[in-house]
Amino acid sequence: MVSEAARLTALKGAEVLFYPTAIGWHPAEKAQYGENQYGAWMNVMKGHAVANGIFVAAANRIGLEKYLPDTDGIELRGKSFICEFLRRNTRTSLV
């Protein structure tokens, strides 16, 4: 959800923004980019909560998906989480 959609949803009275996501990386890039990409995704989600004064729940898929045969596929991170808009509490899943 882009910032404008999140804002309009909050203005219409939503108390929680739900983000179903599939954030991951190519397995060969995990060591180099994995933690930074995950951190950037978390920052964007927390930013939606803070900017809109609303809770955010982000459910992220987990596992390895191979869309094409004979490819490395995409490794999905998991680590779904919920955060509140004052950023005092963030709860992250173990997987």
Domain ranges within the chain, ordered by starting residue: 3-92
Q: How far apart are CA 65 and CA 38, in angstroms?
A: 18
In the prediction, which pLDDT does 12 show? 95
In the prediction, which pLDDT does 88 show? 64
Higher pLDDT, 24 or 88: 24
C-beta pairs of 22-28 under 8 Å, 24+ apart in sequence: 22/60, 22/61, 22/76, 23/60, 23/76, 23/77, 24/61, 24/65, 24/74, 24/75, 24/76, 24/77, 25/74, 25/75, 25/77, 26/72, 26/74, 26/75, 27/64, 27/72, 27/73, 27/74, 27/75, 28/72
The pTM is what? 0.78
Q: How far apart are CA 1 and CA 17, in angstroms?
A: 9
List pLDDT tens digits, range 13-64: 999 999 998 888 888 998 999 889 888 988 888 888 988 999 999 998 999 9
Question: Is 73 a residue whose pLDDT tops 80?
Answer: yes
In the prediction, which pLDDT does 94 show? 58
DSSP state of 23: -
In the prediction, which pLDDT does 89 show? 62
